[in-house]
Amino acid sequence: MFIRKNKLLLFKLLSLFSVVRGYNVLMIAIAQYLATIYILAHNLPLRKVIFDPNLFVIVVASALVIASGYIINNF
């Protein structure tokens, strides 16, 4: 059971994430993967490109930067 203070904190965190346009961030992440698959690494197998940890870190980092930009722009 949450006390009032914890409920307020949880509500504030959820409202902070409502500012982020999740569909836009998802589309950019998909676009990065597609650009890597079809343009940058067209000679590598698909499985190797998708499960590359370096590409994953780049995509996650750019998604977090874009999401934080949405949050900063809102306030």
Question: Which residues make Cβ contacts (< 8 Å) with residue 50, sequence separation at least 6?
Answer: 33, 37
3-state secondary structure of 3: coil
Domain regions of the chain by residue span: 4-74
Tell me how far apart the alpha carbons of residues 39 and 49 are, in angstroms, rounded to a whole number: 12
Q: Could you report the average pLDDT of every consecutive run of 10 residues in the chain (75 residues)?
A: 78 79 92 96 92 96 93 83
Instruction: Specify the pLDDT at position 75.
Output: 76
- 44 conformational bin, left if phi > 0, alpha if psi -120 to 50, beta if neither: beta
